[in-house]
Amino acid sequence: MSANGYYRLAAVIPPVRVADVVANSAALVQAAKETAQLGAHAVLFPEMSLTGYTCGDLFFQPRLREAALQGLGTLVKETADLSCVIITTVPLVVHEALFNTAVVLQGGKLLGLVPKTILPNYREFYERRHFHPAADLRVKEVSLSGFGSVPIGTDLLFSDGTDFTFGVEVCEDLWAVLPPSSRLALQGARVIFNPCASTELVGKAAYRRRLVAQQSGTCLAAYVLASAGVGESTQDVVYSGHALIAENGHLVAENPRFSRGTTMACADIDLQRLGEARLSESSFNENRLPQEWNSVRVISVAPADRECDLKLAQIPKRPFLPPASQAEERCEEILNIQATGLARRMEHTGAKCLVLGVSGGLDSTLALLVCARTCELLGRSPQCIRALTMPGFGTTGRTHANAVKLAKLLGVQFSEVDMRAICQQEFQMLGFDASQRTTTYENVQARARTELLMNTSNLHGGIVVGTGDLSEIALGWSTYNGDHMSMYAVNCSIPKTLIRCLIAHIALCSSSELAEVLQDIIDTPVSPELLPPAEDGTVEQKTEEVLGPYDLHDFFLYHFIKYGAPPHKLFLLAQHAWGKEYDDAVIRRTLSIFLTRFFAQQFKRSCIPDGPKVGTISLSPRGDWRMPSDAAVAAWLEGEEE
């Protein structure tokens, strides 16, 4: 087993000589050993890679079939000291019928045989001339010289008893209306291996990529495909040697096609995460298999003898951010979701205006920009936005100036209310010593601001637009019944790291003057500005110095909520993704803060306002995250102090 849930999977395209089994078996042995040295837990070779796929009527020749079994024996014997699983296919006669059969071997043993289900019989493919489909198989085991009795059938699953459970389908099976891989996934396979021989035609590689990625997403699985290479016969068609690995809808590894030497695609895949995804984020378990598909035989696979080092794992540092190639489209989509949600709320409530506090910080800036887009969507003037800046004891000249400039450039109604006098009066009423920089000192300001916003919305027939983001909601970094409360929270499922991205996107589409203000807001340290600034007027109360980097908090939030990653794995993943920027002590301290605050602050999340969900992660107590407010964190903190 792999303690971290990661397994290294490889699809290898070795050089092949048609009908030269001796040369081919030697090439497979060498490729398997080299791939095993790279730490692969499983190695997939193309369809008929011992004989060549394009042997045609030579498959009817006993000598070729005998040679294929001899070559298989060589492969099994020469890789006996390897712990990795090896998969390819051979032509196999069973009860006077010839089957295109996948073979699964490991550690000097032939574990199982899986015949091809769907045989192509069109255009350049004439497999039914030579082979029978799996439906014609009438036995559960076959006796092979040198191997003894070996299980055979399409009902085989292979498992190490933990996360590494896989099934095999062969080439055309994937192109079927109901691929065997769908059934295998529902029976527990988290990986599908496909030894394949797919011809190369103009545009076919792109289609193959989409097909593999889509099936991995449909099955919530990893999908590994290795297709025959350029050594195959080019009598009528050409094979490119395409190797692909996809994980839950995303292509994660691919080799260069048309190579004349050995190539591979190799990736570290988190199979534990795929299992968690099947539990929580889809209707995967709502599928019901037909009765005849319910039976399955599980073949034991020896567990991994080494831990995956994650060098080939795709672990984005900022998982909430879109890929660069999709950034513009994705940002526009998010902004449109926010604006559409707010527009619907305005229409439903009959609100005459939108009221929000603008501080010159990230969250309120994005909220104001969304309000402006909402007015544009509804055909209303930006003057129906009432933006208030409410300087307090910690407000700096930089943030105040940016708030004023932003409101002016967007053409909204803008007013300023100095909160200090209001707060001083509150301190006097409470008998509080304002020289004590306690939570009371901070929260009086936050609640006073919210009270003013709520009363302003009542006065003008509007609604208060909340500015708090997903990161703050996760950590409870808000004042209960202060900035915690609003009438519609447009940022509620957008984490801090994504807010920077969205503002930067808007800056690219804005005038130079507005873009300059937005960039300065992005560059300003995150702060609630509730404590007095430093002597030079700069921000003294920096959130990330208290909580730890938002980069890490958002990273933990993503993997904790989406895949239920336990603390030791959260640390491992962060160490791999962020180890060059943050040392282990910072990662561990931030993780401890994240876990402690996430559990302790659930009571705030239990009564947060409505707001639009824009991604797969939301902490709304009504639809996405249901957790008791008094749940204990102890089990998640065990061992984290080490």
Catalytic residues: 47, 116, 171
Given a contact cutoff of 8 angstroms between Cβ atoms, the answer to whether 511 and 556 are in contact is: no
Are 482 and 439 in contact, with CB atoms under 8 Å apart?
Answer: no
Task: Give me the amino acid identity at 229.
Answer: G
Residue 280 tokens, joined: 């929580």
Determine contact, residues 493/363, Cβ cutoff 8 Å: no
Structure tokens, 397: 């000249």
Q: How many CB atoms lie within 10 A of CB 553?
A: 26
For residue 163, the 8-state DSSP code is: S
Amino acid code (one letter) for 364: S
Quick check: helix, strand or coil at residue 19?
A: coil
Cα–Cα distance measured from residue 151 to residue 155, given in angstroms and rounded to the nearest whole number: 10
DSSP helix/strand/coil, 247: strand
Match 């994660």 to its residue by tokens: 252
DSSP letter, residue 209? H
Burial 132-149 (b: 16+ CB within 10 A, else e): bbbeebeeeebebeebee
Rounded Cα–Cα distance for residues 546 and 533 (Å): 15
How many C-beta atoms lie closer than 10 Å to residue 219's C-beta? Answer: 27
Q: Write the Ramachandran bin of 123: left for phi over 0, alpha for psi from -120 to 50, otherwise beta.
A: left
* Integer-rounded Cα radius of gyration of the chain: 30
Distance CA 351, CA 462 (A): 5
Q: Environment class of residue 177 by beta-carbon count within 10 Å: exposed (0-12), middle (13-18) or buried (19+)?
A: exposed
Percent helix, percent strand, percent coil in the chain, to nearest 5: 40, 20, 40
Parallel, antiparallel or unpaired: strands 148-151 and 141-144:
antiparallel
Give the C-alpha separation, 177 to 212, whole Å: 14
Beta pairing partners, 299: 158
